[in-house]
Amino acid sequence: MRVRKGLFWCICADRAVFLDIEQDQYFTLPHALQGAFQSWAAGGDPGEAALQRLSRCNILASGPGECDPHPLSLVPIRRDYGARTGSSSAPTARGNLLEVARAALAQHRAETALRRFPLAQVLADLPKAPSRLASFPRDVVDGQRIGAAFATTAQMMRSADKCLPRALAAWRLCVRRGLRPVLAFGVRMDPFAAHCWIQLGDAVVVGDLEQVRLFTPIMSVACDHVIS
């Protein structure tokens, strides 16, 4: 048995939380199935009846597959390229008008795409990895410029509840500059909330470092379109 295709999960606040990428929805299991799933995920045997119930709920599917309760290998975040001046992690390069215009246009296009197409298609259509890796100095400088540009657009455009289009837009600008971003999705409980962000190495480009630290990663998209 394995987790069915298109379903991603994590353990958050001692509960299994799922993201169905095809349906674009998050959900948790009833209490009666939480223990069964977590037992299976830890390599235990919850019993045939429990496995059949998880299968009928479209959580598990037949076939070989490894199960890791911590499937993501995101680099721990330590810096914020979008931090405002006055912060110890504030970028040294601020977004100029052209960078801000590019960020605003990219966000507008991302919002349009999310209205017209399902999330799975939007993610599949993201531009692929650049042909060459950026050097570390360029990675830092360009990451700071992109982060600064989106920090400025947040003052001009609505940013609340816009983490996904902002992250998708930042992805495109990163790839255009020859960088390799990671798009990450995270969840938290009590109350439930979801968040997404863009990171380059150990730095957040878009998504707010302090916010990111509140969320448990549930899914990530690497620049070669590998989703984990």
* Pair (50, 143) in one structural domain: no
Number of domains in the chain: 2
* Pair (137, 28) in one structural domain: no
Per the domain annotation, does 68 fall within a domain? no
The predicted pLDDT at position 48 comes to 94
* Pair (138, 210) in one structural domain: yes
Q: Show the tokens assigned to 217.
A: 């990663």
* Pair (55, 16) in one structural domain: yes
The predicted pLDDT at position 158 comes to 65
Q: Which domain holds residue 54?
A: 2-61
Q: Which helix (H) or strand (E) holds 22?
A: none
| Run means of pLDDT, 10 residues per run, the chain, 228 residues | 92 96 95 94 93 95 61 82 56 66 95 96 88 63 93 78 94 92 96 96 95 95 80
Per the domain annotation, does 227 fall within a domain? no
* Pair (87, 16) in one structural domain: no
Distance of CA 35 to the CA centre of its chain: 26
* Pair (90, 47) in one structural domain: no
* Pair (181, 134) in one structural domain: yes
* Pairing, β 15-20 against β 203-206: unpaired
Residue the block writes with tokens 């709920």 = 57
The CA distance from 154 to 170, in Å, is 13
Cα–Cα distances (Å) from 138 to 41, 42, 132, 180, in that order, read 41, 41, 12, 12
Residue the block writes with tokens 């990530």 = 220
* Pair (144, 106) in one structural domain: yes
* Pair (156, 201) in one structural domain: yes
The predicted pLDDT at position 130 comes to 67
The predicted pLDDT at position 93 comes to 42
* Pair (10, 90) in one structural domain: no
The CA distance from 201 to 190, in Å, is 29
Residues 225 and 128 sit within 8 Å (Cβ to Cβ): yes
The predicted pLDDT at position 87 comes to 40
* Pair (33, 130) in one structural domain: no
